[in-house]
Amino acid sequence: MSFSPALIPSVRRRNLLKTFLLGASASSLPWLAGCSGSDNPLSGTGGRVTASETNRFGGTALNNNQFRFRNIGPLRDADANGVRTAAGFSTRVVAISNLPPARGATPWHIFNDGGGVVPREDGGWIYCSNSEVPGVGTLGFQVPELAPLTNPLEALVPGLGGASALVFAADGTVEDSYRILRNTTFNCAGVITPWKTWLSCEEIPTGLVWECDPLGIQAARPLPALGLFSHEAVAIDSERRVFYMTEDMPDGRFYRWVPTAGDWPSSAARANMNQGVLQVLKVEGDLAQALNGPVRYSWVNAANPNAPQTENRLPDTAVFDGGEGVWYQNDRVFFATKGDDRLWMLNTTNQTIEVVYDMATATAPNNILSGVDNITMTPFGEVLVAEDGGDMQVVVVYPDGVLVPLLQIVGQDQSEIAGIAFSPDGKRMYFTSDRGGPNLQGGYGLGLGMLYELLIPDTLPNN
């Protein structure tokens, strides 16, 4: 893509923010104290802890009472915001599309999707959010046969998507919002990097990953080294220096990108993301066997990594039907596939892949999860799955197969939930309804997108 997403920031605003930016580390956050060895377990990046200290999902909870949301109880009737939660939880709406979230702020973007949180030194935080606005390239995503026509047109027409930042004070007050990425198309999910920038993924056949400055001072930059394909999401193993990426296509693949030693030196805090090797996952034997237990996998170099991967498929690589969210934690990589409603787990130590949730075969005792999409994990080993459609729930998946509904949005069945991210202290959780909005009756229904906050009680059952 030739269009620059350069921004024109408010100098006063950005200088104020710069004073307070990005000082908190995961080790200083109270509710992460049990997750040693991680750069930031809430952002999908991090290091490892000893295997004996973790459960099957790589979390620190070693019995059911140590999980955070395992015993929260049934969901109550919907609140005034149209959200069902368990006792002790509450919600508020913090941003609505086309409206400024705070006085003097930039209006919130439409179709908000994936998101992540960056801490500030003063105790506040910045929520980075994608804007999944379709464009010319989306036609090639929806109808792959049109991609040869729409791919070159996409390079000529600026996209209407991008990403924005929402700034919170330490007490949760919304202080500001502004754009951090412009002129891109169908921005879906992403990740907060260990060096505290936001990676935003374009979900079109020639899609790129873009690195964004949460302050909006530096212009976002494209990362073509990470491949051209319908990027859905990315996760980073900062200890091994590996990026994992999903592709949202019916014949999608699962990728990893390994930077060269010069691109991410051992002494460097961050990768340049300019030089590396794009690889595709290959399974030894039949991928269907992963429903029955772990199957060995390996990696092969992508064919023509500088060209759209839909035109350069390696036939012996594993096919995944609609790759969605991805998360790395303690030698495990989790990702979801929407075409078959599955949650997968890679064990990067054993080099095995297995299905840990499959709707069709009812792997869970209470089979309530469908429309799997974005995923997020807690340090304790809980996988939070956002539903695209389904029952519009956030469902927590546990290592023993039990599913627990954390919340449910009602009256917005044509929408989807995405963008799950926690405040640095773990007391607030953000989630989007990408087609939600105010209705004429004074409540909420379908619209152009909105962002919710879940307030989590200080004391949870059996925790």
Average predicted confidence (pLDDT) for the chain: 90
Which tens digits make up the pLDDT trace of 418-434? Answer: 999 999 999 999 999 99
Mean pLDDT of 178-183: 98
At residue 100, φ and ψ (nearest 5 deg) are -75, 125
Mean pLDDT of 162-179: 98
Q: Is the pLDDT of residue 91 over 50?
A: yes
> How far is it, in rounded angstroms, from Cα 272 to Cα 211?
10
**pLDDT at position 454:** 98
**pLDDT at position 404:** 96
**pLDDT at position 434:** 96
Mean pLDDT of 316-335: 98
* Three-class SS state of 224: helix
Determine the straight-line distance between the first and last CA of the chain, rounded to whole angstroms. 49
Q: How far apart, in Å, are the Cα atoms of 372 and each of 21, 65, 79, 161, 304?
A: 34, 26, 24, 23, 31
Mean pLDDT of 360-387: 91
Q: How far apart, in Å, are the Cα atoms of 370 and each of 104, 244, 270, 356, 383?
A: 40, 24, 36, 14, 14
**pLDDT at position 96:** 98
The residues facing 244 across adjacent strands are 235, 256
2.40.50.140, 2.120.10.30, 1.50.10.10, 3.40.630.30: CATH of 11-263+276-455 = 2.120.10.30
Mean pLDDT of 79-83: 97
**pLDDT at position 205:** 94
Q: Is the pLDDT of residue 101 over 60?
A: yes
Mean pLDDT of 190-197: 98
Q: Is the pLDDT of residue 21 over 80?
A: no
Share of the chain above pLDDT 70, in %: 88
> How far is it, in rounded angstroms, from Cα 85 to Cα 2?
45
Which tens digits make up the pLDDT trace of 447-456? Answer: 999 999 999 9
Give the model's confidence band at 364: pLDDT under 50 very low, under 70 low, under 90 confident, else very high. Answer: low
Give the model's confidence band at 16: pLDDT under 50 very low, under 70 low, under 90 confident, else very high. Answer: very low
> Which residue did the predictor score with more confidence, 45 or 224?
224
Which tens digits make up the pLDDT trace of 49-80? Answer: 676 789 999 999 999 999 999 999 999 999 99
- Contact predicate 89/421, CB 8 Å: no
**pLDDT at position 38:** 33
What pTM value is reported for the model?
A: 0.91
Q: Is the pLDDT of residue 15 over 60?
A: no
Q: Is the pLDDT of residue 238 over 80?
A: yes
> How far is it, in rounded angstroms, from Cα 36 to Cα 284?
33
Mean pLDDT of 118-129: 97
Mean pLDDT of 189-198: 98
Mean pLDDT of 30-48: 38
Which secondary structure element, helix H or strand E, spans residue 246, and what is its range? strand 242-247
Q: Is the pLDDT of residue 153 over 90?
A: no
**pLDDT at position 48:** 60
**pLDDT at position 463:** 62
* Three-class SS state of 291: helix
Q: Is the pLDDT of residue 31 over 90?
A: no
Other beta carbons less than 10 A from residue 356's beta carbon: 20
Stated length of the chain: 463
Which tens digits make up the pLDDT trace of 388-419? Answer: 988 999 999 999 999 999 999 999 999 999 99
